[in-house]
Amino acid sequence: MAEWRPGTDPSTLKRRAHLLSAVREFFAARDVLEVDTPVLGATGGTDPAIDCLRTVDGFVLQSSPEYFMKRLLAAGSGPIYQIARAFRAEEAGRLHNPEFLLLEWYRPDFDDFALMAELDDLLTPVLDGFPPRRVRFRDLLTDRLGVDPLVEPVAGLVLALTGRFQEASREADVLALTGGERTAVLDLAYSEAIDGLPGAWFVHDFPPEQAALARLRTDAQGAKVAARFELVVDGIELANGYHELLDAAEQRRRFEADLAARRASGRWAPALDERLLAALESGLPDCAGVALGLDRVLMLMSGAADLDAVLPFGRNRL
């Protein structure tokens, strides 16, 4: 007989409901408006590391509500949040499910550091080990891998990663995995640096190559960095936030670079989201935004070993 039972038990279902209730109470107390946006879009994100699910009639299941929410911001919504269903075309695993629950919010007049503080306020009541410590991307990789990612040539980064794999008796061809492309090498280096990192951390000031939709700024040492952060708890990435880029022309350039990278690797390249770019051109307010994986938060709250234990029906139970 086919297994029909959910992955969760009744106590986890209640904990899930309480978490969603606590999120809504948190934002209601701060006068942040709850919104909902479409799950289906005419196009999808360009991030070379993320593949979207598509319908037979050409629509795209959204990997994040970001583009729609930014259109609301440009239209004068003020501070907003959303508990959204998001989708990514990747294999199910301990930390991944193709459909997941994402909390995303945007705060006009906040920068990335103000948003880190608010994320800390949200999660301190539900997760151990808070407040998170803060570390620059540059310092983290220098400490964990022995190379400065802002100045080290690609060859040096590849050599450092190869040495790390060899020390751990793991076979991995770094050039084959990354194509020797700097952004891909930095992505792999970061994944290795946070692997097994104990405790709660805000990693911030990413390299410009990993800016995505974040603006650039100059740090205290005069280096160009992306105004981006990630929340990592016990080596698990929970949240990704930006002091948002407002320059439509620069955003178009980054999107086109992403699409070129996707085409070069033989992957599907979505059409540019011209409506988002038009919203940026009309004037996105100065703001910061963050996306938080609620299923992973619940997994850590419950002490579960994998997502299947906190999802009512993960991919293997559909």
Determine what percent of the chain is predicted with pLDDT higher than 90: 78
Strands (E), 129-272: 133-136, 200-206, 216-218, 224-233, 236-243
Residue 167 has pLDDT above 70, yes or no: yes
Residue 220 has pLDDT above 90, yes or no: no
Position with higher pLDDT, 26 vs 146 = 26
Position with higher pLDDT, 123 vs 158 = 123
CATH topology of domain 10-132+237-317: BirA Bifunctional Protein; domain 2 (3.30.930)
pLDDT band at 135 (very low <50, low <70, confident <90, very high): very high
Q: Which residues contact 87 (CB under 8 A, 6 or more apart)?
A: 39, 52, 53, 61, 62, 63, 98, 99, 100
Residue 36 has pLDDT above 80, yes or no: yes
pTM (two decimals)? 0.95
Q: Which residues contact 121 (CB under 8 A, 6 or more apart)?
A: 26
What confidence score (pLDDT) does residue 31 get? 98
Give the tens place of pLDDT for each residue, 49-90: 899 999 999 999 999 999 999 999 999 999 999 999 999 997
What confidence score (pLDDT) does residue 63 get? 96
pLDDT band at 1 (very low <50, low <70, confident <90, very high): low
Question: Span 218-246, mean pLDDT?
Answer: 96
pLDDT band at 159 (very low <50, low <70, confident <90, very high): confident
Domain boundaries, the chain: 10-132+237-317, 135-197
Question: Span 123-144, mean pLDDT?
Answer: 94
For the chain, give the mean pLDDT.
93
Q: Which residues contact 68 (CB under 8 A, 6 or more apart)?
A: 37, 38, 41, 62
Give the tens place of pLDDT for each residue, 178-205: 888 888 889 988 998 999 899 999 999 9
Parallel, antiparallel or unpaired: strands 53-54 and 60-61 = antiparallel
Q: In terms of Cα–Cα distance, which of 301, 296, 287, 275 is closest to 105? A: 287
Question: Span 81-103, mean pLDDT?
Answer: 92
Residue 94 has pLDDT above 70, yes or no: yes
Burial of 85 (0-12, 13-18, 19+ CB in 10 A): middle
What confidence score (pLDDT) does residue 173 get? 82
Question: Span 147-161, mean pLDDT?
Answer: 88
What confidence score (pLDDT) does residue 138 get? 95
Strands (E), 219-312: 224-233, 236-243, 287-293
pLDDT band at 171 (very low <50, low <70, confident <90, very high): confident
Residue 227 has pLDDT above 90, yes or no: yes
Residue 91 has pLDDT above 90, yes or no: no
pLDDT band at 129 (very low <50, low <70, confident <90, very high): confident
Question: Span 272-286, mean pLDDT?
Answer: 97
Determine what percent of the chain is predicted with pLDDT higher than 70: 99
Q: Which residues contact 246 (CB under 8 A, 6 or more apart)?
A: 215, 280, 284, 286
Residue 255 has pLDDT above 70, yes or no: yes
Q: Give the range with max mean pLDDT: 29-38, 90-99, 259-268.
A: 29-38
